[in-house]
Structure 1
Amino acid sequence: MDTPLPQLLADLGAQLVESSITERGFTGYISREGGRLLLAMRPGQPRAEREMLARAMIGRALRVPMPELPEPYQLSDLADL
């Protein structure tokens, strides 16, 4: 998971788009669209935050063991609710 994010997305056939949700507490979400991963991230998000969260979401979606995110970040699986 240390591959540069644009290359990781390309290798996985995933796409990262700007979300229309701009609330500060929102960081992003990931979904499967037509068999491929779509990451929607908050506009204006700091690069380091975006990198960390995109990788964490991809890892969760692919069921790859990942380290815990630092506070205050957490991932929620809405499909499980």
Structure 2
Amino acid sequence: MSVAMSPARLLSAPLPDLLADLEVQLVESGIADESFFGAVFRLEERLVLVAPSGCPTDEWDVLARGLLGQALGVSLPALPSSVAAVEVVS
């Protein structure tokens, strides 16, 4: 995955195009907890983006871009305070 990502591109490109360009694997979670907003992790050289089940499309679009920006080190405005991003390193 060697696509340079600017904040403008991350925020304006259609999400399906971003996922394809970045070779991100999208997985829908079976987690039904309303406080789960998704996750992103690296599996070998690929990013895996986990979508919460039942999340409205517009809400998921914002959350997915925030998660991708964090994983790629792209400087973006902070997500709402109700969304906590936790980095787990193994």
| TM-score, length basis structure 1 | 0.90
Tell me if 1:46 matches 2:56: yes
Partner amino acid for 1:39? L
How many residues are treated as equivalent by the alignment?
Answer: 80
Q: What TM-score results when the alignment is normalised by the length of structure 2? A: 0.81
Aligned-partner residue type, residue 50 of structure 2: A
**Where does residue 7 of structure 1 map in the other structure?**
17
Determine whether 1:79 maps to 2:82: no
Report the RMSD for the aligned CA atoms in angstroms: 1.4
For CA contacts below 8 A with separation 6 or more, give which structure has more relative contact order.
2
Amino acid at match of 2:53: P
- Spell out, residue by residue over 1:8-64, the C-alpha distance to the aligned partner (whole angstroms, 9 max, x if none): 000000011101211111011111112111011111101111111110111111101
Any idea what SS the aligned residue of 2:76 has?
coil
Paired letter, 1:29: A
* Map of 1:32 onto structure 2: 42
Identity of aligned residues (%): 41
* Structure 1 residue ranges (4+ consecutive) displaced by more than 4 angstroms after TM superposition: none
1:74 CA drift (Å): 2.5
Q: Distance in 2 between matches of 1:12 and 1:78?
A: 21
Aligned residue identity for 2:51: M
Segments of structure 2 that go 5 or more residues without pairing to the other structure are 1-9
Q: CA deviation at 1:76?
A: 1.4
Structure 1 unpaired stretches of 5+: none
CA distance in 1, matches of 2:63, 2:86: 12
Following superposition, the deviation at residue 78 of structure 1 comes to: 2.0
